[in-house]
């Protein structure tokens, strides 16, 4: 179904673990050439890259910083001779801070890792994605990672995180309006509660309480989120899909 992803050049940000790593593995299994990124390399990096095939490579960088966004995108595009698909997955809760205690440093941290990262990676990727569309005749793709928090407002102390995800879901509308003509589709995958290090602070009781609010009765697994990215990136499957938010959440949130 996603045969057209073979040979496509993909950068997945924040992909040393969790959802990003599952997405990178899924693209590699579909025959894509995959660039991974995180601040720190995952353990067993060489074996991981060998397993992904296609000359997979890791590009370290803190995407809270514009200079790192530019460098990671340029290095990935140079490595693969271009870029067809950008997955803006790097993101973090940073912390749970109630409104009364939010300060400039926390505001900057949440905004930088969730919004600046996607904005500046997309800005840096734009010329490469335009060139991809012009040279291959296939639309390029930018995929953002939202969250149910972007629609619900987020849980205790997570208001800024939820707002950052809503910001992403909104700015893609502008990009669709003004960059579809460049041959680029923009979509968002919006996960529910997924079993990753993101929830490392939850004990068994907290996990049970969250699960009780999910019709499927459990957290999602990263591997269950990844196929939505393949669908959106594939022009064969989703060539007429742009500006959309796909919710993958076990029924936890229904728009």
At 82, list the tokens.
């271009």
Nearer to ligand NAP (CB atom), residue 5 or residue 24: 24
Q: Is the dihedral of CA 186, 224, 10, 110 positive or negative?
A: positive
Number of residues that bind ligand NAP (CB under 6 A): 28
* Sole binder of ligand NAP in the list 63, 97, 121, 143 (CB under 6 A): 63
Q: How far is CA 85 from the centre of its chain?
A: 11
Residues 97-136 that bind ligand NAP (CB under 6 A): 113
In whole angstroms, the minimum distance from the beta carbon of 236 to ligand NAP comes to 25
What string marks each residue from 146 to 175 as x (binds ligand NAP by CB under 6 A) or -?
-x----------------------------
Tell me: does residue 16 bind ligand NAP (CB under 6 A): yes
Largest distance between two CA atoms of the chain: 53
Torsion sign, CA atoms 159, 161, 167, 169? negative
> What is the rounded CA–CA span in Å between residue 177 and residue 63?
25
The helix (H) or strand (E) run that includes residue 49 is helix 45-52
Q: Is 189 left (phi over 0), alpha (psi -120 to 50) or beta?
A: beta
Among 5, 12, 14, 111, binds ligand NAP (CB under 6 A): 14
Nearest approach in angstroms of CB 208 to ligand NAP is: 16
Tell me the helices (H) and strands (E) count for the chain, helix number first. Answer: 10, 7
* Residue 213: CB minimum distance to ligand NAP, A: 13
Closest CA to 102 of 149, 155, 146, 161: 161
Subset of residues 210 to 229 that bind ligand NAP, contact rule: CB under 6 A:
none
Binding piece for ligand NAP, criterion CB under 6 A, among 48-56, 172-180, 194-202, 209-217: 194-202
Distance separating alpha carbons of residues 63 and 78, to the nearest angstrom: 18
With CA atoms as reference, report the closest residue to 18 among 178, 223, 167, 253: 223
- For residues 235 and 249, which CB has a smaller minimum distance to ligand NAP in the complex? 249
Which one is catalytic: 161, 229, 231, 253?
Answer: 161
Tell which one of 82, 159, 162, 191 touches ligand NAP (CB under 6 A). Answer: 191
Least spacing, CB of residue 198 vs ligand NAP, in Å: 3
Instruction: Give the side-chain half-sphere CA count within 13 A for 237.
Output: 14
Q: Is residue 240 flagged as an active site residue?
A: no
34 vs 139, beta carbon nearer ligand NAP? 34
40 binds ligand NAP (CB under 6 A): yes
- Residue numbers at the binding site for ligand NAP (CB under 6 A): 13-20, 37-40, 62-64, 89-92, 113, 145, 147, 191, 193-194, 196-198
Provide the annotated active-site residues.
Answer: 161
């Amino acid at each position: 179904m996603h045969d057209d992803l073979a040979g496509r050049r993909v950068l997945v940000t924040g992909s040393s673990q969790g959802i990003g790593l599952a997405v990178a593995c899924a693209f590699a299994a579909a025959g894509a050439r995959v660039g991974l990124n995180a601040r720190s390399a995952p353990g067993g990096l060489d074996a991981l890259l060998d397993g992904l095939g296609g000359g997979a490579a890791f590009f370290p960088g803190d995407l809270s910083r514009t200079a790192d966004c530019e460098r990671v995108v340029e290095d990935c595009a140079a490595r693969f001779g271009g870029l067809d698909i950008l997955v803006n997955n790097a993101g973090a809760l940073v912390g749970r801070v109630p409104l009364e205690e939010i300060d400039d440093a926390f505001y900057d941290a949440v905004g930088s890792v969730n919004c600046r990262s996607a904005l500046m990676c997309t800005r840096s990727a734009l010329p490469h994605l335009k060139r991809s569309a012009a040279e291959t005749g296939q639309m390029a793709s930018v995929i953002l990672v939202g969250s149910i928090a972007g629609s619900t407002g987020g849980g205790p102390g997570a208001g800024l995180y939820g707002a950052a995800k809503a910001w992403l879901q909104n700015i893609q509308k502008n990009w669709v309006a003004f960059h579809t003509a460049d041959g680029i589709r923009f979509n968002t995958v919006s996960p529910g509660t997924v079993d990753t290090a993101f929830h490392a602070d939850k004990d068994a009781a907290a996990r049970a309480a969250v699960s009780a609010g999910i019709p499927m009765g459990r957290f999602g697994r990263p591997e269950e989120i990844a196929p939505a990215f393949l669908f959106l990136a594939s022009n064969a499957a989703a060539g007429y899909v742009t500006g959309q938010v796909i919710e993958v959440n076990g029924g936890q949130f229904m728009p």
